[in-house]
Amino acid sequence: MPGSADRRMAEDRSPAGMIVASGVHRSFGALTAVSDVSFRLPAGRIVGLVGSDGAGKTTLLRMLATMLVPSSGTIRVGGLDVVRERSGVKGMIGYMPQRFGLYQDLTVAENLDFFMDIYGITGAERRRRRERYLGFSNLLAFTDRRAGDLSGGMKQKLGLACVLVHEPRVLILDEPTNGVDPVSRQEFWQILAEMKQSGMTILVSTAYLDEGERCDRLLLMHNARILADAAPAEVRAEFASLEEAMIQRIRAVDAALTEDAFGR
Ligand SMILES: Nc1ncnc2c1ncn2[C@@H]1O[C@H](COP(=O)(O)OP(=O)(O)OP(=O)(O)O)[C@@H](O)[C@H]1O
Ligand SMILES: [Mg+2]
């Protein structure tokens, strides 16, 4: 039986890719939130989605997570179409939205139990996963604390634990560390690194460019489009930092748009 590394390599070589977007477009009335987005993400990698506010990151992630239907174009996850084979895709992914809904009046353990009930995880497996994911998140000492009484960083780690309990092949996280302190952010990324080792494919949006540096690959989004799709070092290129590279790339696109608008 092949190990997870062999499986990962096999999936990498497959022309299909784990997440494949082709010509994806989504509008809300007259507003275009995602325009002509195409990419192919291999399995077993951490891909960062970075970009300006309102760039369309959440809209794109919601389409990948089957929460929103594209206006046009197609998205396949693990070979399945997110619209026509929605339930198959849902079974494969874990999705943590930008505002993840924990039950504030339930304890840490009860929140996790709620998610395990949804996925029908029982018996010894349920105990194993509770230990593993609350342990990962450093939450084992806080199992009886109300979620509403956790710190912001602990809430995010509990949210991640709740998404991980069904051990999805693909993890989609929308700014999971927003407002979280550097120590908790580091712990959070250690969990992601361990998940990657087990072969999971992770797509994570972030406003923190030190986190962007930890990714195998970055998608840079601005104004509904993907401006760059490359390894962090390539995106950084000749610039002093990833931040500077992003600002300059975004400025260059905006300047070109302004010139077009004024016919210069
Ligand atoms: N349900 C909706 N109805 C109407 N407009 C929407 C809807 N969802 C998003 N938009 C608009 O689409 C654009 C992209 O929004 P989106 O939330 O995807 O951006 P984002 O990159 O996630 O931004 P942020 O970094 O602030 O989270 C914005 O102009 C937003 O106002
Ligand atoms: Mg967003």
Per residue in 73-93, pLDDT tens? 999 999 999 999 999 999 999
Site to substitute for ligand 1 among 28, 173, 220, most atoms within 8 A of C-beta: 28
Measure the CA–CA gap between 119 and 114, rounded to whole angstroms.
9
Which ligand 1 atom minimizes the distance to the CA of 224?
Answer: 14
Which ligand 1 atom minimizes the distance to the CA of 51?
Answer: 21
Q: How many CB atoms lie within 10 A of CB 37?
A: 24
Site to substitute for ligand 1 among 26, 58, 98, most atoms within 8 A of C-beta: 58
Measure the CA–CA gap between 27 and 32, rounded to whole angstroms.
4
Read off the pLDDT of residues 15-61 as tens digits, 9 standing for 90 and up: 468 999 999 999 999 999 999 999 999 999 999 999 999 999 999 99
Coil vs helix vs strand at 200? coil
pLDDT of residue 82: 97
Q: What is the DSSP letter of 146?
A: B
Tokens of residue 203, six digits = 């797509």
Ligand 2 centroid vs 262 CA: distance in angstroms?
30
Q: What is the DSSP letter of 149?
A: G
User: Is residue 2 scored above 50 in pLDDT?
Assistant: no
| Nearest ligand, measured from the Cα of 220 | 1
Ligand 2 centroid vs 205 CA: distance in angstroms?
8
Amino acid at 126: R
Ligand 1 centroid vs 236 CA: distance in angstroms?
26
Phi, psi of 147 (to 5 degrees): -60, -35
Ligand 2 centroid vs 53 CA: distance in angstroms?
7
Going by CATH, does the domain composed of 4-261 fall within 3.40.50.300? Answer: yes
Phi, psi of 165 (to 5 degrees): -60, -25
- C-alpha atoms less than 13 angstroms from C-alpha of 208 in its C-beta half-sphere: 17
Q: What is the DSSP letter of 112?
A: H
Contact call for residues 207 and 49 (beta carbons, < 8 A): no
Q: Where are the domains of the chain?
A: 4-261
**Total-model pTM:** 0.91
- Which protein residues touch ligand 1 with a CB less than 6 Å away? 28, 31, 33, 51, 53-59, 98
Ligand 2 centroid vs 54 CA: distance in angstroms?
7
**What DSSP line would sit under 224-235, residue for residue?**
TEEEEEE-HHHH
